Structure 1
Amino acid sequence: MNYKNEIVCKNCGTKNFDFEYICKNCKAFLRNRIVNIDLGETLLRLIDSPSETFLKIKFSEHKNYIFFLLFFISIRFLILSRFFSVPFVFEPIKLNLPLLVIISFLITLIFFVIISLSIQKILLLLKVKARFRDILAVMTYSFLPNLFALFILFPIEMVFYGEYLFSNNPYPFQIKESIFYFLLSLETLCVLWSVFLFYVGIKEFTYSRIFSLIFSIIVWIVITLTLYWQSKIFLI
């Protein structure tokens, strides 16, 4: 079977997969070796050169900070699921916060693993062979805008609304309406930015804009449904 992501060694003509940097036949270098992911550089480069940055993430030998990032993404997901529950919270379930964080992290980890494995299987149908860890890394780094929302927007929201941030009596927009809609716009932009980055990252595997767009839409629908399901179970 011929795969779309095969490259030909210029030295001996042997076909290799694009994620390999040394020819399996003659051991000649196929591309520059990328050992580690630089988190600071990646954060900056995702803004101006997301496609090039995801290639580096895809080809890096060590997928640095994956579990570190997934932990904070899980906290962000926990907060979002709490927002989902706001209209329905009247007698909230009492669960301690550390336990909620641990459970949310496990749900997030399982979710990312399942989605990455699913994408890997779908890519095979598209005649693209990809490594699971490459897909997981690209997917995880596409969620970096959510960390901006977690560390920048969420503290600002807490300053303005405090205990009423997750309240439905009154709702936050009933307290400071203009600030609420401004912060909501920024939250929405962070989500859209993540959707765009996920699309760009997956495109480095599929080599197709259409399939990448379909993947992005489906994954984010599944994320939304998962957060809604999580909100029903872990109301705090």
Structure 2
Amino acid sequence: MIKNFQTCFNCKHENPLYSLTCNKCNAYLRTKIPNLDFWEITWKLFYEPTNTFIKIIQSEKKNYLALISFLFVIRFSVIDFIINNYKVHFFYKELKSYYDSLLTSLLILIITFIASYLITFLFNFLKTKTRVKDNFSIIIFSSIPNILAFIFLVPFQIALFGHYWFTVNPPPTIIKPLASYIFYIFELIFIAWNIILTFIAIKTQTNHIIYSLLITFLYYSLIFLIMFL
């Protein structure tokens, strides 16, 4: 059994993390959070991610979720497209168009939504009540630093490498070795940070390290398997 709850100061009843009022005595458990401030959430993901994910969970409106989901699809479609071009260049795999990568990224978004349902079912079975929209939101919001890095890095990548950064024909490491390796390091750092934030997000819901590690590992293993096959 895993538990992560709010204890009512009035009656000591244990309530789900998302609750505004006590399920037993209706006393207020916390301050009402009507919506989210995008830049506040983005900034705080870097230095207090746990409290930030709690705020996302407790927010009545998950505003910006649609926008971030859209950028999530674009970001992962570009990653998939680059990986595919490397597979073509080094392993002589069949070349896919960007639209194929876009479909792959949409599949990843659908998998994320399905995973949110499965996580909710699992947590409820383990006596920790969660909601699908909260689980989906924290996974998507955990990709914000990765998305922002993509937005800020792409103009420089295009300026230095043009379309060769994406088509890798020839690879960027041949055109400008030092610059390309620096960009790759930045890309890997923010992808790794995305994965770490997902783990922290799930741990915020479960308060259990092992379950959070397992879910994060399975989720990203499936994503990378889809992109590398």
Deviation (angstroms), 1:18: 2.5
Farther-moved stretch of structure 1 (122-131 vs 198-207): 122-131
Contact 1:3/1:129, CA 8 A, preserved across alignment: no
CA deviations on 1:15-43 (whole Å, 9 max, x unpaired) are 43221111233321012211111111001
Identity of aligned residues (%): 30
> 1:202 corresponds to which residue?
202
> 2:223 corresponds to which residue?
223
> 2:138 corresponds to which residue?
138
Deviation (angstroms), 1:117: 1.1
TM-score, with normalisation over the residues of structure 1? Answer: 0.86
TM-score, with normalisation over the residues of structure 2? Answer: 0.88
In 1, distance between residues paired with 2:141 and 2:189? 17
In 2, distance between residues paired with 1:203 and 1:73? 21
In 2, distance between residues paired with 1:21 and 1:94? 47
Farther-moved stretch of structure 1 (218-227 vs 14-23): 14-23
Deviation (angstroms), 1:149: 2.7
Contact 1:6/1:16, CA 8 A, preserved across alignment: yes
In 2, distance between residues paired with 1:18 and 1:115? 20
Return closer, same or farther for 1:202/1:78 CA change in 2, 3 Å cut-off: same
Residue type at the aligned position of 1:186: F
Residue type at the aligned position of 1:80: I
In 2, distance between residues paired with 1:147 and 1:124? 31
> 1:161 corresponds to which residue?
161
Count the aligned residue pairs. 225
Contact 2:139/2:201, CA 8 A, preserved across alignment: yes
> 1:232 corresponds to which residue?
none
Name segments (4+ residues, structure 1) moved above 6 Å.
Answer: none
In 2, distance between residues paired with 1:105 and 1:93? 13
| Structure 1 unaligned spans of 5+ | 230-236
Contact 1:6/1:15, CA 8 A, preserved across alignment: yes
| Structure 2 unaligned spans of 5+ | none
> 2:85 corresponds to which residue?
86
In 2, distance between residues paired with 1:184 and 1:105? 20
Deviation (angstroms), 1:144: 0.7
Determine helix, strand or coil for the equivalent of 1:153: helix
> 2:116 corresponds to which residue?
116
Residue type at the aligned position of 1:35: P
Contact 1:71/1:105, CA 8 A, preserved across alignment: no
Deviation (angstroms), 1:85: 0.9
CA deviations on 1:164-219 (whole Å, 9 max, x unpaired) are 12334321101100111000000000001101111111111111122212222221
